[in-house]
Chain A
Amino acid sequence: GAVVSQHPSWVICKSGTSVKIECRSLDFQATTMFWYRQFPKQSLMLMATSNEGSKATYEQGVEKDKFLINHASLTLSTLTVTSAHPEDSSFYICSASFRTDSNQPQHFGDGTRLSIL
Chain B
Amino acid sequence: SQKIEQNSEALNIQEGKTATLTCNYTNYSPAYLQWYRQDPGRGPVFLLLIRENEKEKRKERLKVTFDTTLKQSLFHITASQPADSATYLCALARSGGYNKLIFGAGTRLAVHP
Interface residue ranges, A against B (CB under 8 Å):
4, 6, 32, 34, 41-46, 49, 51, 93, 95, 97, 99-111, 113
Question: How many contacting A-B pairs (Cβ < 8 A)?
Answer: 71
* B residues lining the A interface (CB < 8 Å): 4, 8, 31-32, 34, 36, 41-46, 49, 51, 89, 93-106
Find out whether the CB atom of B100 lies under 8 angstroms from the CB atom of A43: no
A-B contact pairs, 7 of them (CB 8 A): A6-B43, A34-B101, A51-B98, A95-B44, A104-B99, A109-B43, A113-B41
A20–B104 CA distance with the chains assembled, in angstroms: 27
CB closest chain-A residue, reference B6: A43
Report yes or no: B98 in contact with A32, Cβ–Cβ below 8 A: yes
CB-based closest 5 A-B pairs: A108-B43, A105-B46, A102-B93, A43-B105, A43-B103
Question: Could you say which of A43, A95, A102 contacts B43, with CB atoms under 8 Å apart?
Answer: A95
- Minimum C-beta distance from A106 to chain B (A): 6
Cβ-defined contact, A102 with B94, below 8 A: yes
Q: Identify the interface centre among A99, A106, A111, A113: most chain B CB within 10 Å of its CB.
A: A106
User: Interface on chain B toward A: helix, strand, loop, or mixed SS?
Assistant: loop
Out of A4, A41, A46, A113, name the residue touching B101 (CB < 8 Å). Answer: A46
Q: Smallest CB–CB gap between B103 and chain A, Å?
A: 4
Cα A6 to Cα B101 in complex, Å, equals 20
Contacting residues, chain A, for B105 (C-beta < 8 A)? 41-43
Known: A99-B99, A102-B97, A103-B51. 20 other contacts (CB 8 A): A32-B98, A32-B99, A34-B101, A43-B4, A43-B89, A43-B103, A43-B105, A44-B89, A46-B101, A49-B98, A95-B43, A100-B99, A102-B96, A102-B100, A103-B95, A105-B34, A106-B99, A108-B45, A109-B43, A113-B41
> Which of chain A's residues has its CB closest to B102's CB?
A46
Given contacts A43-B89, A111-B42, contact A100 B98 (CB under 8 A): yes
